[in-house]
Amino acid sequence: MTQDDKKKAAANSALQYIQQNSIVGVGTGSTVVHFINALASIKHDIVGAVSSSEDSTKRLKALGIEVFDLNSVDNLDVYVDGADEITKHKHMIKGGGAALTREKIIAAVAKKFVCIIDDSKQVPVLGDFALPVEVIPMARSYVARELLKLGGDPVYRQGITTDNGNVILDVHNLKILNPVELEKQINGIVGVVTNGLFAHRGADVVLVGTDSGVTTIE
């Protein structure tokens, strides 16, 4: 099985969590593209979706799935999204696709976060994948200096503006032993919009595509 086959298997398996007549929270990334395609196959059974990025919104609409503004949605049962790294505690690094802020907002609203990954994303400790931090443009250098003090090596992601009009610093060389604390610490730096640690609100269910099928971790 290729990595993409595993992503697709995990994405298809997430359909079992989608309830009739519901609005579905939809993440961003290559694994989520498979999920959006799967969701289209049951589009007449759902009301629509809320989306974490302009890219996912475009794909959902192209497949005839209505996209709602999160402000008009009182209740969200399920949010489905991928991850760049995940531990056995269901703490994640996300934001490889620069959509971390909207992803974190929808994850906060949703009752259940269903994480869909291939098995290469499972790690014992977070940090080999550089941690994305969304930053207000004028604060970029200040935030980079503060991140250096925390022991990381921030690198400006050139040529990328987020859907919110901000920039991304990718923080390398962090060995993240306490993700809940680091998430809070980085979010406390003035000028940071949010960072890609999803530890305070981690995943609830992880669907892992492997060579021998999809494993569910609850």
Catalytic residue set: 103
Distances (CA, A) of 74 to 17, 27, 78, 102, 141: 19, 18, 13, 17, 38
Residue ranges in 39-98 that form contacts with ligand 5RP under rule CB under 6 A: 81-84, 94-98
Our finding on whether 28 is near ligand 5RP (CB under 6 A) is yes
Beta pairing, strands 92-93 & 197-198:
antiparallel
Q: Kindly tell me which of 23 and 115 has the beta carbon lying closer to ligand 5RP.
A: 115
Site string for ligand 5RP, 101-130 (x = CB under 6 A): --x---------------------------
Say whether residue 27 binds ligand 5RP (CB under 6 A).
Answer: yes
Q: Which helix (H) or strand (E) holds 210?
A: strand 205-210
Q: Does 100 bind ligand 5RP (CB under 6 A)?
A: yes
| Residue 61 labelled as part of a binding site | no
Q: Please, which residues have CB within 8 angstroms of residue 182's CB and are 6 or more apart in sequence?
A: 150, 174, 176, 197, 199
48 is in an annotated binding site: no
- The reply on whether position 30 binds ligand 5RP by CB under 6 A is yes
Point out the annotated binding site for substrate.
28-31, 81-84, 94-97, 121
